[in-house]
Amino acid sequence: MAKRYYDLTVAGCKRRLTILNLNETLAIAGFIMLGDVELCANCARELAKKIPADTEIIMTAETKGIPLAAELSRQLGMPYYITARKSVKAYMEDPIWVEDESITTLGKQRLYLMNTDIERIEGRKVLLLDDVISTGGSMTALGNLAEKAGAHVIGQAAVLAEGDAAKRTDIIFLEALPLFEAE
């Protein structure tokens, strides 16, 4: 079978995304920000113009949102951002967790925060950030974790809104990304 591609332009960056089958009926365009410095910097600059001005800290989930969260935090002059981990590490004391189910992850997984991250977000205005919002499952889990830690979630942002997520008015995003039929 020949490879299929989707040409995307976001924040002034043109990228060719490979279309990947998720199952027998659904395919997605693989959007990978990891390692793409120009894409992260440009998208962070554009998102910075759209996020709530009173954002105190940014929170993302491991892994693909990390470079975007780091760059957006840097551009906004924030000294920290929070990463919800997908497993408990030896250095994580008294972690809290929630279950997460994502379109791109097989089965359920957990997201964890350690005690120092809980202390950093408790009582603060937190923006949830990811590379793509699709079904909203990951953002729901991230929001539940933030609220469990005592944070006030003031928004959800992503570079792309995939499929029906592009119709939502409660999220911040730069571009829409279609879903595709599997081949």
* 17-26 pLDDT tens trace: 999 998 999 9
CATH 3.40.50.2020 fits 33-176, yes or no: yes
Q: How distant, in Å, are the alpha carbons of 21, 77, 114, 160 from that of 93?
A: 39, 28, 6, 34
Q: Parse the chain into domains and list their residue ranges.
A: 33-176
Query: Over 90: is that where the pLDDT of 1 sits?
Result: no
pTM of the model as a whole? 0.93
> What is the spatial distance between Cα 6 and Cα 138, in angstroms, rounded to a whole number?
24
* 106-138 pLDDT tens trace: 568 899 999 999 999 999 999 999 999 998 999
Per-residue model confidence (pLDDT) at position 105? 57
Q: Grade residue 103 by pLDDT with cuts at 50, 70 and 90.
A: low
Q: How distant, in Å, are the alpha carbons of 38, 71, 80, 84 from that of 116?
A: 31, 21, 12, 12
| Average pLDDT score over the chain | 94
> What is the spatial distance between Cα 82 and Cα 119, in angstroms, rounded to a whole number?
11
* 44-88 pLDDT tens trace: 999 999 999 999 999 999 989 999 999 999 999 999 999 999 999
Bridge partner list, 156: 128
Per-residue model confidence (pLDDT) at position 104? 57
